């Protein structure tokens, strides 16, 4: 036989369960190896060295590396070496690069692309110096600084020219606030994020070749 108190308890439990169903959760990101054309926005050719910030097309870029090998680079247009992963000769377009590693400088720095309006997909054509004693990582975060996903780079391309790998994250909803790259001369050509704008005509070659790259190893990897 149901009593009034049993009805109250049942309704209370149903109310709690209903509340749980609508509680917001942290979005999960899927690692992707291909990106829509709208994710590729070419950087301006600034040849900037330092920690930033630099802003372009709705994205703020900044880095912890202010001094090692002149600081991180943004909009760099010359050659850049990646040790065992080869060389970029500057024809891929302006790049952003961390420009240091723990094994060379004793620092594990980061560089960040922060979106003024959150996006759902980020990434690009990336390169780095393999074989370091610390990991080389890409990661995405939401506006509350929650880590949505991260990935340690392990690919090896060999010592060729303009090589790398397309990597990124797809969350499925515009909740990515920033994209962070850490360690071992990691770099990228272009700006990333699928909801930040339409590529300029000058970026069409970059889109056609599917490129976004960066970085080198050693004290004199930049070729100016």
Cβ–Cβ under 8 Å, residues 42 and 35: no
pLDDT digits (tens, 9 = 90+) for 125-152: 999 999 999 999 999 999 999 999 999 9
Quote the CA–CA distance of 93 and 1 in Å, as a whole number: 76
Quote the CA–CA distance of 52 and 76 in Å, as a whole number: 13
Quote the CA–CA distance of 4 and 191 in Å, as a whole number: 62
Q: Check pLDDT > 90 for residue 179.
A: yes
- pLDDT given at position 220: 34
**Torsion 103-106-108-112 (CA) sign:** negative
Per DSSP, 161 falls in state B
Half-sphere exposure of 45 (CA within 13 A, CB side): 8
204 vs 41, more confident: 41
Q: Check pLDDT > 60 for residue 48.
A: yes
Q: Check pLDDT > 60 for residue 158.
A: yes
Question: Which ranges in the chain belong to alpha helices (H)?
Answer: 4-22, 102-105, 204-209
Q: pTM value?
A: 0.77
């Amino acid at each position: 036989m149901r009593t009034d108190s049993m009805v109250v308890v049942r309704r209370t439990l149903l109310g709690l369960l209903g509340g749980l169903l609508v509680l917001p959760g942290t979005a999960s990101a899927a690692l992707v190896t291909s990106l829509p054309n709208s994710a590729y926005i070419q950087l301006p050719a600034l040849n900037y060295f330092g920690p930033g910030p630099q802003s372009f097309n709705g994205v703020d870029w900044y880095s912890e590396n202010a001094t090692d090998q002149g600081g991180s680079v943004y909009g760099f247009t010359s050659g850049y070496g990646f040790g065992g992963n080869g060389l970029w000769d500057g024809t891929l377009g302006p790049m952003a690069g961390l420009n240091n590693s723990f094994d060379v400088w004793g620092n594990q720095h980061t560089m960040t692309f922060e979106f003024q309006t959150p996006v759902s997909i980020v990434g690009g054509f990336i390169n780095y110096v393999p074989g370091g004693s610390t990991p080389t990582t890409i990661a995405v975060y939401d506006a509350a600084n929650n880590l949505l996903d991260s990935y340690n780079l392990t690919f090896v391309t060999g010592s060729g020219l303009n090589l790398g790998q397309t990597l990124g994250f797809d969350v499925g909803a515009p909740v990515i606030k920033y994209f962070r790259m850490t360690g071992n001369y990691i770099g990228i050509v272009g700006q990333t994020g699928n909801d930040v704008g339409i590529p300029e005509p000058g970026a069409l070659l970059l889109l056609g070749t599917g490129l976004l790259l960066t970085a080198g190893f050693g004290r004199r990897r930049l070729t100016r």
